[in-house]
Amino acid sequence: RGLEGHRVEAQTRWDARRQDVAKQEGLVLEELQRCFVVAASKAQQKQLQADEDDMGRLVEHHVAELKRLLEEFRAGFQARIDEGRLELGGGVDMSAELASQKEYMDAKEALDTDLRGLEGHRVEAQARWNTRRQDVAEQERLVLEELRSCFVVAVREAIRKRIDAILDTKEFLRNCDALVESFTELEQLVGGGSDVLADVVERVKARVDELQSDSEIQSLIAAKNYSKLLFNLKTLRAMATALQDWVALDTDNIQTETTRHVQILLGEAEREVQSGVDHPDFLVFTSVQDLMRLMPLLEKAFLGKMEAVMESLKVRAQDAIQQCLSEARERLTVARSDGMTTEAEETVARMLIKGYAVAVELGVTDRYKRWMEKSLLEKMADDVQHLVGASIMQKTLDKEEPVATAARGILTMFPAFATFSIELFNAKAGSVSFASALATMECRPTRPFNDNLATVFEAYNEVYSAEVNKIIQGLRAYPKGELRQRVVALATELAPHAGQLNQHCAKFGLLFGLVASAWTYLSCLGKPHLSERKKVLQPHNTQILGVCRLLGLDEAALENHLIQINTGEGKSVALGFTAVLLSLLGFSVDVVCYSPYLSARDHQQFAELFRFFKVKSFIFYSDFFRLSGHIMRSGVDTPDILNTFDQFLRQKTTASGDTAPKSLVATALLSLKNLGKCPSPPPVRRKVLLLDEVDVFFSDEFYGAPYTPLQLLKVKAGGAKPGFNLLLHVWQRRGSLSKSKQSVAVLREHMLTKQLLSKFPNLAFLLEAELYRILDSVSQFPAGRAPRFRSGEDAYTLDAARGTIVYTDPRTHVPTEKLSYGYVTAFTYFYECDRGKFPPATFREAGQSSSKIGVLPVCGALSYSEIPRLYAFALGMTGTLDCLTEKQNALLKEYFFERRTFLPSTFFGKKSLNADRGEKKETKVVRGTRDDYFLALKDEMAEAVKEGRAVLMVFADLKGLQDYNYELHRYGGVDFPRYAAPQLLTDELDNGKRNNVVIKAIRPYTITLMTRAYGRGTDFKCDDPGLVKDGGAHVIITFFPEDDSEEKQILGRTCRQDDPGSARKIIFEEDIKPLGASEKRFSAQEKPWDEYLAECRAGTHERRMVAMDAAHENVMARHNATLKACEAAEQRQWEEAARLFKEASLKSPAVQGVEDDEESSDSD
């Protein structure tokens, strides 16, 4: 009964499970019929599989249980039989036991029958289950087919909708890439010959035809939206090429119409440049402006054919101006006694203005200036020049803004009209009196209470006013020789007291006044009509005050001193006067700027004055890194480490007490022979360092950076070239060499190395380290594979004809032949020769004479940061003294810059950002993709351009500028009729082109993209009254400046003098991460972006300064080791010198590069 109960219970559970399975099957079928996703069907399958496993386990459990019970029953029954057998032997009755045995057999048979029945049920269930699984699989297949069909339909419709959206949008042509991608996807989905694809093709054709329809083209031309027309042409042609596998787009209509209207525009431009002087529209040059504004797009649309058009236009303009010149010379007459301009002078003025405007548009201002001066102005009488200038001056008030702008520009360009330009500037400046500037000046520490500066100015003003009156009364009769003599006499008298001028204020005031008078006199040469002081070039009161403070006229003695003078207010003029006065007082002056371009510009401004007082040889203008290289190589203020190291390498090790080398003995004998025959050398001048901006002190290229010269080992001309040949040997066997002791040992024993040691015996001390450097460099050129260049090493171009490699300077981004990366450069020559870039003969000839291929040991290191300590005094002027960090101020104190002065503005009512006419807009940080960031920049730019303003966009580096310019061209710029492609201001331009870009930058609707270096010192002058009326220049900064000083300098490119302007920073979120900033952290606090990023920058700046301090400590250790090495070499202590040179060269990684301005190594 128990067994039967178990069987019945098992059957009941089995039936219940079968019912559950049936229900599950029904649910699965229902779900499949509703086309549920494949994932649901798989889930059901897994559930059914689990049920099957449960059922199988249940049956197996009951079978095992029945077997166990049967075994127990059998064992018990067997025990009873055995027991009965024992009792049988004793006469026990066994009939009852036999009955039990029969009962057992019957039960066993019934149980076996049940087991067979259960097994049958299990097999039947398994068969039905397998059938159902096959049914489910079939249903799943049908569902998948249905789903795929639905998916194809859905995707096809989605692609069609996407294409429809692209075709319907106004930005259709800007989405060519997306259209090509959609066509590719659609073709893969439905095949090339489907009706769906054919329908889409027809839609695209219709949209393209619509864009190049006559009505669309005419509407763009009527609105003078030539930029959009050219963009449509360029993009439609690109689209036709991209979609040619699917659709044949006909762009002939827009090509024909655009060409026709460009020719019309060109004809109008030619008529404008050729219009006669008497033509009523002579001063109209809008078509020339439109044509030049579109030139970048024209060049892209017409594939370089515009170059010939441009040259043709320039020739026509030149011919037209030549004709005007002929007419003007015929009409010019001697000025009337009443000084009023005649029709002839008016004609010449109009002609000059027109020519200037066209020259600016065509980018030939330098050529135009030279030509006009030679062909007209030099042949024009002085009084006629003056009348022409007066006529041009009147045009600065013209209601036509382009005419007024051109008139202001031409007054600035030609020295003959400088008096009028000066008058315009003096009208802005000079309103602040010396007494007012003195009263509002701030000094730290507080200056002594005395009247010294007032005394200086009183003497200055008295003599300067008297001299200027003489200049105005008769320039030709002005006693310049007498002035020079007075200056020399005063300077000679004051020179012994140059360090304590506070005791000689009146005399210094006289000296300063005479020097300023000479400057004014020189600026007036060629300008005879000087009736008033306001028409002459003169220093202004804040500049005079700055010079006097810098030279310590109100202090106990001359000391290191920094002065803040606002951007755009004549810092270069004040520094020029300071340099002249110091040189006259017996000093040698180095004037240092961060930019080679600005340094050359400032030097040119004072070059005539330097020559006038014959102090040119005592004043050196340079950028800091050129000056540093000059000082380090000169061997005057620092050890001559190149020659000392060369002498060290060539000497053999000798015992102490040996006689001096023959060359030194000969030198000594020659000196004795000439003793008494040579005049006494001139007294050594004390040196003064004049700084134009102090930011260079905080650069990691200065503080903590080493000057690490490479000494190319040379032998006599015509001799063996073991250095070149050794490197060639290493190159050819680089596959078998490695950076190992074994390879070093092999090279050490090589014949070429021994030849080298025979010429340079002491190289043996450094040979192992040098061979390791050679092997390390050649390991970057694995045989048969591309080189593994490090940072900057792959930035080069080839000059195959000369057999040279020219690197791009990582600081200036300008190609230079003076940059080398040591042995990597040498092996780069071999690499390019193997690639066939250099003819072998040319390469071998150039290579053997090259200063870059040979054994190049590092001869120690000198610290750039020690250069200011080489000067008796360091003085400077900067626009950012009030925004230095605590660390930066501490660093300046290390150079003894304790004295500081903050000057007021030269311009009364000077406007700055956040003032009435200046606006510093809220900083914007853009999240998302680079495309989102590009669009944010483009929108900010477009908003300002549409307001008629000039836009200056400042980028962190050249790559960022080029990327933005590319995207802007790709998207067609700004959809605005007056839009012109941006002009670029980078170090790659020569001076002429750079000046032309600067001239054109501050004009309405003009966009200029520039690198951050031009955010400092570049003088963007606003000569356009219309631009002032529309808000001035708008500066967009695309990165967060490195510090407050840089930010102030960049913001100083707008709101210059008293002009209006605005600025805004727009930064990509990824670019603020190096500061430790993020959108998430910003959102968690309440400060605005500027304040939050400034805090993040402060932390980054702190870490950077700590790293610079560590680098400086390392470099100073190498610096001191180099000095000791030179001293040991001079004393012929060769082993000690070798140890110190090695220590100085190996304290940091190998040299990356070195500039060589001198021919220190002509051959190996």
The region of weakest confidence among 347-361, 489-503, 953-967 is 347-361
Q: What pLDDT score does 23 carry?
A: 66
Alpha helical stretches, state H, 243-381? 252-274, 286-293, 295-301, 306-331, 343-362, 365-375
Confidence of residue 22 (pLDDT cuts 50, 70, 90): low
In the predicted structure, residue 674 carries a pLDDT above the cut 50: no
**Mean pLDDT throughout 24-53?**
56
Taking the CA atoms of residue 1063, residue 1068, residue 1070 and residue 1075 in that order, the dihedral angle to the nearest 10 degrees is 10
Q: Per-residue pLDDT averaged across 371-389, rounded?
A: 73
User: Which position has the higher pLDDT, 181 or 1122?
Assistant: 1122
Does the structure show a pLDDT above 80 at 579?
A: yes
Residue 422 pLDDT exceeds 60: yes
| Residue-level pLDDT at 1150 | 37
What's the pLDDT at 900? 92
Torsion angle of C-alpha atoms 595, 597, 603, 606, degrees rounded to 10: -120
So what's the pLDDT on residue 529?
Answer: 59
Work out the pLDDT band at 95, boundaries 50, 70, 90. low
Please give the residue that has the higher pLDDT: either 455 or 344.
455
C-alpha closest to that of 185 among 159, 222, 224, 203: 159
Note the pLDDT of residue 259: 79
| Residues of the chain above pLDDT 90, percent | 18
- Is pLDDT of 4 > 60? yes
Rounded to whole angstroms, the Cα distance separating 1142 from 857 reads 10
Which of 104-113, 445-454, 860-869 is the least confident region?
104-113
For residue 1, which amino acid is it? R
List, for residues 825-835, the tens digit of each pLDDT value.
889 988 988 88
Beta strand 796-799 with 804-808 is antiparallel
- In angstroms, the CA 537 to CA 1058 distance is 19
Scanning the structure block, which residue is given the tokens 């020719």? 263
684-711 average pLDDT score? 82
The confidence score (pLDDT) of residue 673 equals 42
Distances (CA, A) of 473 to 468, 553, 640, 742: 9, 32, 55, 86
> What pLDDT shows up at residue 840?
67
Please, which pLDDT band fits residue 17 given cuts at 50, 70 and 90?
low
Whether 585 shows a pLDDT value over 80: the answer reads: yes
DSSP 733: T
Across 72-77, average pLDDT: 66
What residue has token string 């763009």?
220
> Between 385 and 1045, where is the model more confident?
1045
pLDDT at 899: 92
Say if residue 373 is exposed, middle or buried (CB neighbours under 10 Å; 0-12, 13-18, 19+): middle
Residue 687: strand, helix, or coil: strand
Judged by average pLDDT, the poorest of 46-55, 210-219, 965-974 is 46-55
Confidence of residue 933 (pLDDT cuts 50, 70, 90): very high
Average pLDDT over residues 1112-1141: 89
Q: Is the pLDDT of residue 677 over 60?
A: no
> What whole-number percentage of the chain has pLDDT above 70?
76
Is the pLDDT confidence value at 488 over 90?
Answer: yes
Where b means 16+ CB within 10 Å and e means fewer, 990-1010 reads eeebbebbbbbbbbbbbbbbb
pLDDT of residue 510: 96
> pLDDT value at position 1008?
94
Least confidently predicted of 149-158, 473-482, 1007-1016: 149-158
| Residue 1151: per-residue pLDDT | 38
Tokens in use for 32? 């499949």
**Can you give the pLDDT at residue 336?**
44
User: Which strand (E) or helix (H) includes residue 737?
Assistant: none
Q: What is the pTM of this model?
A: 0.66
Q: Of the ranges 53-67, 400-414, 1147-1161, which is most confident?
A: 400-414
Instruction: Give dist(CA 549, CA 567) in Å, integer.
Output: 18
Contact 964, 937 (CB under 8 A): yes
Task: Read off the tokens for 555.
Answer: 């202090």
> Cα 414 vs. chain centroid, distance in angstroms?
34
Asked if the model's pLDDT at residue 1153 lies above 70, the reply is no
Higher pLDDT, 849 or 236: 236
Averaged over 607-635, what is the pLDDT? 85
Residue 659 has pLDDT above 50, yes or no: no
Dihedral of CA atoms 767, 768, 771, 772 in degrees, nearest 10, equals: -150
Q: Is the pLDDT of residue 672 over 60?
A: no
List all residues 6 or more positions away from 80 whose beta carbon is below 8 Å from its beta carbon: 97, 100
Higher pLDDT pick, 139 / 1057: 139
pLDDT tier for residue 575 given thresholds of 50, 70 and 90: very high
Residue 539's contacts (CB-CB under 8 Å, 6 or more residues apart) are: 516, 519, 547, 570, 573, 574, 577
What mean pLDDT do residues 984-993 have?
80
Q: Flag the least confident range among 122-136, 617-631, 795-809, 900-914.
A: 900-914
Please answer whether residues 806 and 799 qualify as being in contact, where contact means their C-beta atoms are separated by less than 8 angstroms: yes
> Is pLDDT of 106 > 70?
yes
| Nearest of 479, 565, 573, 577 to residue 521 by alpha carbon | 479
d(CA 235, CA 247) in angstroms, rounded, equals 16
Least confident among 102-116, 246-260, 454-468, 885-899: 102-116
Higher pLDDT, 904 or 34: 904
300-304, 413-417, 446-450, 970-974: lowest mean pLDDT where?
A: 300-304
pLDDT band, residue 151 (cuts 50/70/90): confident
pLDDT for 487:
95
State yes or no: pLDDT of 720 exceeds 90. Answer: no
Q: What is the mean pLDDT of residues 224-249?
A: 77
In this structure, what DSSP letter does residue 684 have? Answer: P
Task: Specify the range with the lowest mean pLDDT, choosing from 1-15, 145-159, 204-218.
Answer: 1-15
In the predicted model, is pLDDT for residue 261 greater than 60?
Answer: yes
Cβ distance 392 to 353 under 8 Å?
Answer: yes
Give the whole-angstrom CA distance, residue 1080 versus residue 1070.
12
> Quick one: pLDDT band at residue 557, thresholds 50, 70, 90?
very high
* Mean pLDDT value across residues 630-647: 76
Does the structure show a pLDDT above 50 at 1160?
A: no
Decide if pLDDT at 670 tops 60.
Answer: no
Q: Is the pLDDT of residue 620 over 60?
A: yes
State the average pLDDT for the chain.
78
Please report, in angstroms and rounded to a whole number, the separation of the first and last CA atoms in the chain. Answer: 114
